[in-house]
Chain A
Amino acid sequence: MPEQLSIFELIANASALVQMVMGVLLMASLSSWVMIFQRWIFLRRVSVEVDTFEDHFWSGIDLRELYRELDAEDVLTGIEDMFVAGFKEYTRLSDQSGADTEAIMQGVQRAMRVSLNRQEEKLETHLAFLATVGSTSPYIGLFGTVWGIMNSFRSLANMSQATLATVAPGISEALVATAMGLFAAIPAVIGYNRFSARVEVLMKRYETFSEEFTAILYRAAHAKR
């Protein structure tokens, strides 16, 4: 047919509610992409930092030396923060006379667990938002579509003779909302799955490190006696 509709004309001609739905979806898509890029950069940086710290840690450096080095820095990355928390607790407790090894180790483990929880929280920021966008935006888009189609059929009732050409623009216009919903949802779901897998890997590494570090401190505490 002569008239090919531009997608922008469709959007401009949509009813107010459908346009609102489209606006919400656009915002959702924009912000979920901001989160995706931010998480991507953040998680990549964190895993690089974990690598470098572990290399440094296992290079045979004196732990006191490492602690002093890190304590001077203002911004600590996840794994560094755990090390500092554990080591600080250890020195504090072992300086007190009369503390037995078990009590020291319990304190150290508690301090590191707290730090680990805080790190997990940091790693998982925005993931809940991505999950929400991923699961709800198809429904929001569908709502816009259903509303638009409802309207276009209602206006069809006034026509004496119904042809495809009278409903098609309305339906096409309404379907843009579903397309936008899917467009917002798909990257959000992919991002959510990918990043939660990465967070899990990082958390595993943190936990492994904390176990190893506890073992080292335990040995040191025993040797002191």
Chain B
Amino acid sequence: MIWTVRQYGLPFLLAVSLHLALAAWIRGVWQPDRADPLDAFKPKMVHSTLLVLEPKAQPKPAPPKAQPQNQQKPQAAPAKTEPVKPARPDPAVEAARRKAEQEEAARLNAARDKARAEEAARQQRLQALAETAFLNSIEDESQDLAQDAADEAETVAQSYRYGIYQRVVANWSRPPSARNGMQARLQVELVPTGDVVAVMLIESSGSAVFDQSAEAAVKKAGRFEVPKENALFERYFRRFTLLFKPEDLLR
């Protein structure tokens, strides 16, 4: 027994540590690859949603957005210029430093306030958008009920919707973390040719990776089959919400 331990203890330790080192190395090699595109992706997403929102949600969300920025900018501007000034007179170095520290703190506070205000504004806008989308859909439905002819239009739209959904699913690359039952609600905007001009997440599935994959799927699909009649397109496909809920997940 002791003999065995003496003969195989060191080799065993060496072998295990070799494998652990290899696993750590592989992890290190694969990780940056994995992190970088995600990092690069996030800001892009945020950016695009902001750009999309501004022209559309002008009536309601514009005032709250304008306010915080107007308030914060004058605050932030003097904070940036002032700390340079007290540094110039050399004698009162101590006082200058203290002042600079105060300025720094003020600037940080201002920045934080600004970020918070922007976040709040964004939330508000998102909510407003979701609401309008909801109202639109309700309106659609009530109109459908009122008009018998619209029933047919609805079925046509439904078949197109199904086609769009199939295309999104086909272009979707399943992230490993995707599980059955996940669903994300996206708002998609099309131009009459069927090209996607904007995709926006309005209801998260809870998994950021899944949300991104859904958005990416719509973007990748690029172009959808849409009705040729302008009225139908304007009513159903200019801007519509898409409940992305894949049921045929692999596992």
Chain B 165-210 residues near chain A, CB threshold 8 A: 166-167, 170-177, 209
B171 and A29 within 8 A (CB): no
Whether A165 contacts B34 in the complex (CB less than 8 A), given A30-B19, A158-B248, comes out as: no
A37 and B11 within 8 A (CB): yes
Chain A 1-48 residues near chain B, CB threshold 8 A: 1-10, 12-13, 26, 29-31, 33-38, 41-42
Whether A4 contacts B8 in the complex (CB less than 8 A), given A159-B170, A160-B166, A161-B170, comes out as: no
A34 and B8 within 8 A (CB): yes
Question: Contact flags (1/0) for B25-58 with A, using CB distance below 8 Å?
Answer: 0110011011001100100000000000000000
A13 and B251 within 8 A (CB): yes
B15 and A5 within 8 A (CB): no
- A168 within 8 Å of B (CB atoms): yes
Assembled-state Cα–Cα distance A155/B246 (Å) = 14
- B77 within 8 Å of A (CB atoms): no
Residues of A near B41 (CB, < 8 A) are 2
A9 and B176 within 8 A (CB): yes
Assembled-state Cα–Cα distance A133/B37 (Å) = 39
Question: Contact flags (1/0) for A136-161 with B, using CB distance below 8 Å?
Answer: 00000000000000000001001111
Assembled-state Cα–Cα distance A148/B122 (Å) = 45
- A170 within 8 Å of B (CB atoms): yes
Whether A37 contacts B14 in the complex (CB less than 8 A), given A4-B34, A169-B173, A170-B250, comes out as: yes
Residues of B contacting A: mostly? helix
Which one, B11, B26, B167, B251, contacts A41 given CB within 8 A?
B11
B37 and A4 within 8 A (CB): yes
Name the CB-closest residue of A to B45. Answer: A2
- A163 within 8 Å of B (CB atoms): yes
Name the CB-closest residue of A to B3. Answer: A75
Name the CB-closest residue of A to B27. Answer: A8
Which one, A2, A34, A160, contacts B37 given CB within 8 A?
A2
Using a Cβ–Cβ cut-off of 8 Å, how many residues does chain A contribute to the interface with B?
36
- B7 within 8 Å of A (CB atoms): yes
- B18 within 8 Å of A (CB atoms): yes
- B216 within 8 Å of A (CB atoms): yes
Residues of A near B212 (CB, < 8 A) are 2
Tell me the minimal C-beta distance from B159 to chain A in angstroms: 15
Name the CB-closest residue of A to B26. Answer: A7
Given contacts A29-B19, A41-B11, A160-B170, 19 further A-B contacts (CB under 8 A): A2-B212, A2-B213, A2-B216, A3-B176, A3-B209, A4-B34, A4-B38, A7-B27, A8-B27, A9-B177, A31-B15, A34-B11, A37-B15, A38-B7, A42-B7, A155-B250, A161-B170, A165-B172, A169-B173
Tell me the A residues contacting B by CB distance below 8 Å: 1-10, 12-13, 26, 29-31, 33-38, 41-42, 155, 158-163, 165-166, 168-170
Minimum-distance CB pairs A-B, first 6: A37-B11, A161-B170, A165-B173, A33-B15, A38-B11, A4-B34
